[in-house]
Amino acid sequence: MPTPPDRKTFVLVHGSSAGGWCYRGVADLLEQRGHKVYAPTLTGLGERSHLMSGLITLNTHITDVVNVIRWEDLDRLILVGHSYGGWINSGVAEQVEGKIASIVFLDAFMPEDGQSVLDNSPRSCAEKALKRAEVSRPAPHPSVWAVSEKNQPWVAERLTAQPVGVALTPLRLTGALDRVPKKTYVRAAGYENPNFDRFYAKVKSDRSWRTYEIPCGHEMMIDMPERTAEILMEVA
């Protein structure tokens, strides 16, 4: 069947301890408007938590998303990464350059070449897990991410442990992100985080980026799915 010219393809990447489930509301809204949506769950998390292993690295999670793009033969896609998913965004852009029409960072990390997750995150949880020879660290309570009280029970039931190995892998970047035609950063105004403030301030002064603020906590796709979907369609 022919594809309508205004139909977009979205690949939605979740953050730490989450899964594709966190985008359910946003995906439903996008699909209702005729768009195609993929929300893969990264290895060892969500419904794939039975695959938790000490062998999981940042490259494993990048490959999870790259393989969806390759096997589904996706092109001119909108790549969206939330929080830890910003690391995945940056790594995926290096491997499928030319296939990404628009890239979106939802309150997400924006790593530099040679950095690892530990360089931008509190080290205590990961380091404690490593000292105990554990392959994962437990998920925090949703209140840590300023999830609304009404959604906290639903989120708490679904969060799973995060693989520790993903925090140790340095990410090699050559500037592919800069060459993506459309770039967007969305900041959750209701969540205090100096890293995200820094990333947001940096791109806000760059005319090649579009920036937005959403008045909610870190999990914007859960607490404000309508506004999140609206922004994604605007920047597609």
Among residues 83, 90, 102, 136, which one is catalytic? Answer: 83
d(CA 90, CA 185): 13
Closest C-alpha among 107, 120, 137, 93 to residue 197: 107
Element (H, E) at 59: helix 58-71
Query: What pLDDT was estimated at residue 27?
Result: 98
pLDDT value of position 129: 58
- CB-hemisphere CA count at 13 Å for 76? 6
Please choose, from the candidates 8, 25, 143, the residue with its C-alpha nearest in 3D space to the C-alpha of residue 74. Answer: 8
**214 within 8 A of 189, measured Cβ to Cβ:** yes
CA dihedral 46, 32, 146, 78 (to 10 degrees): 80
Is the distance from CB of 70 to CB of 48 less than 8 angstroms? no
Residue 84 exposed, middle or buried by CB count within 10 Å (0-12, 13-18, 19+)? buried
Find the range with the poorest average confidence among 63-77, 84-98, 121-135, 201-215: 121-135
- The pLDDT value recorded for residue 1 is 46
Which of 88, 139, 65, 106 is CA-nearest to residue 220? 106
DSSP bridge pairs for 4: none
Rounded Cα gap, residues 219 and 172, in angstroms: 27
| pLDDT, tens only, 185-211 | 999 999 999 999 999 999 999 999 999
Q: Where are the beta strands (DSSP E) in 107-181?
A: 136-137, 162-163
Structural tokens at position 135: 């392959």
Verify whether residue 208 is a known catalytic residue: no
Task: Pull the structure tokens for residue 121.
Answer: 């995150």
- Rounded mean pLDDT, 96-109: 97
Task: Compute the chain's Rg from CA coordinates.
Answer: 17
Residue range 163-187, pLDDT digits in tens: 999 998 899 999 999 999 999 999 9
**Residues 6 or more apart whose Cβ sits within 8 Å of residue 176:** 93, 94, 97
Note the pTM of the prediction, 2 decimals. 0.94
pLDDT value at residue 118? 84
Judged against a pLDDT cut of 80, whether residue 120 lies above it is answered with no
118 burial (CB, 10 Å; 0-12 / 13-18 / 19+) is middle
Q: How confident is the model at residue 130 (pLDDT cuts 50, 70, 90)?
A: low
All structural domains of the chain, each given as residue ranges with its CATH number in brackets, are: 9-235 (3.40.50.1820)
Q: How far apart are CA 25 and CA 4, in angstroms?
A: 23
How far is the C-alpha of 218 from the C-alpha of 82, rounded, in Å?
9
